[in-house]
Amino acid sequence: MEEEELEEIRKRKLQQLQEKLREQQQEQAEVQRQILALENFVKQKFTKDALARFGNLKTGHPELAIQVLVVLGEAVKSGKVDVIDDELLKAVLQEMQAGKKETRIIRK
């Protein structure tokens, strides 16, 4: 009897874990869809140079790229920005990096 009960408990636990994993995967897919929608919305406002810089940023620092999208998306939605040129993108990046400690490599 105890073995059957243990097996039943294992099965229930496995089902719970599988359901939790499915929910996490669905949430992750939804977040990815939202990021893609935001990116498509904001990219329409980029100039060619800004788009190239954003592509490089996205490749090298994907988390920062998402943060930049959020900031620029809010600016576009609120009407503060109509076109995102390279200078504006640089300014946003510099502002976001202002709080971080600067690291310098000194050659001797």
Query: pLDDT tens digits for 34-65?
Result: 999 999 999 999 999 999 999 999 999 999 99
pLDDT at 98: 77
> For residue 66, what are the domain limits?
2-97
User: How buried is residue 21: exposed, middle or buried, by Cβ count under 10 Å (0-12/13-18/19+)?
Assistant: exposed
Which are the contacts of 67, defined by CB distance < 8 A and separation ≥ 6? 96
Predicted TM-score of the model (pTM): 0.71
Tell me, yes or no, whether 79 lies in a domain. Answer: yes
Kindly state whether residue 106 falls inside one of the protein's structural domains.
no
Close Cβ partners of 85 (under 8 Å, ≥ 6 residues apart) = 47, 49, 50
Q: Cα dihedral sign for 14, 19, 20, 25? A: positive
pLDDT tens column, 56-104: 999 999 999 999 999 999 999 999 999 999 999 999 999 888 766 555 6
38 within a domain of the structure (yes/no)? yes
Does a structural domain hold residue 39? Answer: yes
Q: Classify residue 103: in a domain, yes or no.
A: no
Side chain identity, residue 88: L
pLDDT tens-digit readout, 4-23: 899 999 999 999 999 999 99
Q: Kindly state whether residue 62 falls inside one of the protein's structural domains.
A: yes
Report the CATH number that the domain containing residue 91 is assigned in CATH: 1.10.8
Does 16 reside within a domain?
A: yes
Q: Is residue 102 part of a domain?
A: no
For the chain, how many structural domains are there in total? 1
| C-alpha separations of 101 from 15, 57, 75, 96, 104 in Å | 46, 19, 26, 12, 10
